Amino acid sequence: MSPAIDLSAFIHHDAKTGLNRLDLAVEGIDCAACIGDIERGIGRMKGVTEARLNYTNRRLGVAWQAQDVEPASIVEKLRQLGYRAHPFEASRQEQIEAAEMRFLIRCLAVSGFAAMNIMLFSVSVWSGNVTDITPDTRDMFHWLSALIALPAAAYAGQPFFRNAWRAIRNRSMTMDVPISLGILLALGMSLFETLHSAEHAYFDSAVMLLFFLLLGRVLDQVMRKKTRSVADNLMALKGETAIVLDVSGEARQVPVRAVKIGDLVLVRPGERIAVDGTVAQGHSTVDASLVTGETMQAEIGPGVPVYAGTLNIGGTLQVRVTAAHEGTLLDEVNRLVAQAADARSRYLRLADKAARIYSPIVHLAAFSTCIGWVLIGASLHDAIITAIAVLIITCPCALALAVPATQVVASGALFKAGLLLQAPDGIERAAQCDTVVFDKTGTLTLPEPRIANRASVDPELLEAAARLALSSRHPLAMALAAEAQRRVPFEHVEEVTGEGLRTIVDGVEYRLGSAAFCDAEAMAAEALGTQRDASLIAFRRDGVCAVFLLKQALRPDAVETVARLRAQNYALAILSGDNESAVAQVARALGITEWKSGLKPADKIAALDGLKRNGRRVLMVGDGLNDAPALAAAHASLSPVSAAHVAQASADALFIGEALAPVDAMLGLSRKAVRVMKDNLWIAVVYNLIAVPLAVFGHVTPLIAAAAMSGSSIIVTLSALRASKPMRAALPAHPPATLVPRQEARLAS
């Protein structure tokens, strides 16, 4: 990190605890073992009370007692551990990850090009050794191979060499250590053999090994979720500026950072409220669905609390600030998301679990082989050759490809099922889930409201009202405008603030808006009598009135999808921020008996924690800002592409379209993909059980070892293709009642 950067600008002081906090982006993290190295190293520093590394976005959060630690010493300690660090900024972190990916691809290209050219010389040597090649010609081919292999390996092997050196310095063990040893020993022994005019050199084996390992690393990087800054996503809701009224009533536009508690903020119609506060003056209608999950728009007036991110639809408001830049509901959501994501980033993937066992065994086997052959009288040269064969034949190419190759294939199958995979380990976690928890608003229901009383409305009046609604940005009017057959708005439309729209068409007045504005109070009261959870918009044309009830409808296949999940013995529940009546109605329609309403983000996390304590692994499906912490806290998570940005960033996968079936597909395909991953790991194990004894007893040369290693990698890759086969449907489209047992998640109270 450049010393010119002032860390003090990025330090946050917590007045309650007296701690200073700093978020750092750490470069050079390539495996889960790095988490322990960094957290232990920073945690041992005097004065540091907390060091937590988020493996997904490489974000290190450090807390220390004020005045006890110099921030620069934290960065210096990371440098000593072998990692570069700088203040966490989402845009810069994304650039770094993109640069890392470009470097990996360059390394892959160099190793592939070198391997192909070296193989041309090797084929000539192999065929010549059994025919009439002269020693001088063979030596020339070996030297040409060395001329290509040594610089190519020095460049393409950097991702492994750097990490191996860091691990050795920190006295830890990663898969990069045996990989690097195998490559360096193969190259060193090949150079030694070439200098002594031996028949065999193994430059082709070393470079081909690099190519396969880099291929696995690139596949893994392709599946890695790119870092997203939740704070940046929240700023779109929070607003960067606010209009503050001074004591004289003069309006000043200032950054949100400059707004103080007690200030009076002006909020105009159509704007998002930039602060938390209480309405001091004015009446309006607000849409808080994205923030709280409440579907119905609320009428607010003096004394009513409002939250940052809420959309002001109706009149002008003056809001007395209770929280602005820090301490708002959005900040609380941000904190909960970061906390939950950090906990989930510690999930240990199959490949990491295998590597922890695999690496020590590989070293022990190679070292024991070398010592054993020396003890029984073999020359040091022959013992080292045999040990190199063991290292090469056990080199974890198949292991490195087993998981990422399956992930790539499975992600393609998921895409065909309408799912976009975001987290590389999301497949593994989804396969372990036994409980599905849904949000209601925008998840079980469609995100946009639909007309609920279409059958009782004159189609001609509906068309006229929909065309008039084309001139409004009001959420209800926009939902009505979607029904217009002719997408041409009327001319000379006038907007009456807080009331609605009106225009004159062929001498006849058209009005669209509130029931009072359209003189349709009696009709509105009658219509709402049967559907209290609906929102209403009225229309009047030449004395003839119509009222349209708008409410969120269930996704078209919600009933069938929920039935399929229940038949597969998944426990089901609903956690919603919406009102009790609306949640109860959806729960009854879907046959879900466990549900909770009116929940805040922290309440949803508490409910998930209760399920976790009961041994449940939850797949959370949600779309709103208030769902983001729960999506990050759940064992696995899904979100529709129409969701709030912060919810999308917190989810393992996104599903496309209006159907809910991708939820079932995610679970089914994930289970199958994990089975294939485990099969691939077993292929690698069986291969080693057969090959290692042969290598240890000297029956395998490094050349044969390289061929066997390549063969195992090809077998694993072909095996991964099985993950692309579609799953069979668990139930017919309309399951009979007998296939719907009642098994719901018991939510912690």
The model's confidence at residue 357, banded by pLDDT at 50, 70 and 90, is: low
- Residue bearing the bigger pLDDT, 533 or 502: 502
| Mean pLDDT on 418-424 | 78
| Range 635-655 average pLDDT | 79
Mean pLDDT of 601-627: 88
Handedness of CA 87, 89, 92, 98 (dihedral sign): positive
* Closest to 566 measured CA to CA, from 438, 747, 430, 740: 740
The whole-number pLDDT of residue 234 equals: 43
List, for residues 443-462, the tens digit of each pLDDT value: 898 877 888 888 888 899 99
Residue 475 vs residues 248, 271, 382, 528, 535: alpha-carbon distances, Å: 35, 13, 79, 19, 11
Phi and psi at 264, nearest 5°, equal -105, 120
- Examine the pLDDT at 402 and tell me if it is beyond 70: no
CB 522 within 8 A of CB 511: no
Q: Between residues 95 and 502, which one has the greater pLDDT?
A: 502
How much is the average pLDDT of 181-195?
A: 84
* Res 354 pLDDT > 80: no
pLDDT of residue 230: 39
| Residue 322 host element (H or E) | strand 317-323
User: Is-contact 51 42, C-beta < 8 A?
Assistant: yes
Residue 210 is encoded by which pair of tokens?
Answer: 């690099």
- Contact call for residues 289 and 441 (beta carbons, < 8 A): yes
285 strand-pairing partners: 299
Per-residue pLDDT at 739: 32
Q: What percent of the chain has pLDDT over 70?
A: 76
What's the pLDDT band for 147 if we cut at 50, 70, 90?
A: very high
Helix axes 71-81, 33-43, angle to 10 degrees: 140
Catalytic residue ranges: 439
List of E strands, 636-688:
636-640, 653-655
Q: Which is more confident, 148 or 364?
A: 148
Percent of the chain with pLDDT over 90: 16
Q: Report pLDDT for 737.
A: 32
What does pLDDT average to over the chain?
Answer: 78
- The CATH architecture of the domain made up of 450-551 is 3-Layer(aba) Sandwich (3.40)
Amino acid identity at 131: T
Q: Which fold has domain 7-88?
A: Alpha-Beta Plaits (3.30.70)
Residues 44-78 pLDDT 10s: 888 888 887 766 567 788 888 767 778 888 888 88
Average pLDDT of 687-704?
Answer: 75
User: 146 with 190: CB under 8 angstroms?
Assistant: yes
Structure token pair of residue 87: 């203040």
The pLDDT of residue 574: 94
Under 8 Å between Cβ of 245 and 265: yes
pLDDT score recorded for residue 39: 79
Please compute the mean of the pLDDT values over residues 310-322 and round it to a whole number.
82
Helix (H) or strand (E) holding 84: strand 84-87
Region 192-204: what's the mean pLDDT?
83
Q: Which residues contact 550 (CB under 8 A, 6 or more apart)?
A: 449, 450, 451, 452, 476, 479, 480, 534, 535, 536, 537
Average pLDDT over residues 568-597: 90
In contact, 713 and 398? CB cutoff 8 Å: yes
Higher pLDDT, 59 or 262: 262
| pLDDT at residue 731, as a whole number | 37
The residues spanned by each domain of the chain are: 7-88, 121-224, 237-326, 450-551
294: left (phi over 0), alpha (psi -120 to 50) or beta: beta
Does the pLDDT at position 113 exceed 60?
yes
Residue 698 is predicted with a pLDDT of: 78
Supply the pLDDT for residue 201. Answer: 81
Are the C-beta atoms of 176 and 166 separated by less than 8 Å? no
551 in helix, strand or coil? strand
pLDDT of residue 381: 78
pLDDT at 735 over 60: no
Strands 653-655 and 636-640, by their bridges, are parallel
Q: Which residue has the tokens 């979100």?
A: 639
Residue carrying the six token digits 């707004």: 259
Alpha-carbon torsion (428, 431, 434, 437), positive or negative = positive
- In the predicted model, is pLDDT for residue 224 greater than 70? no
Would you give the DSSP letter of residue 443?
I
237-326 topology per CATH: 2.70.150
Gap between the Cα atoms of 135 and 142, Å rounded = 10
Residue with token string 């020693």: 135
**Which one is predicted more confidently, 8 or 282?**
282
**For tokens 């050079």, what's the residue?**
28
Q: Who has greater pLDDT, 723 or 300?
A: 300
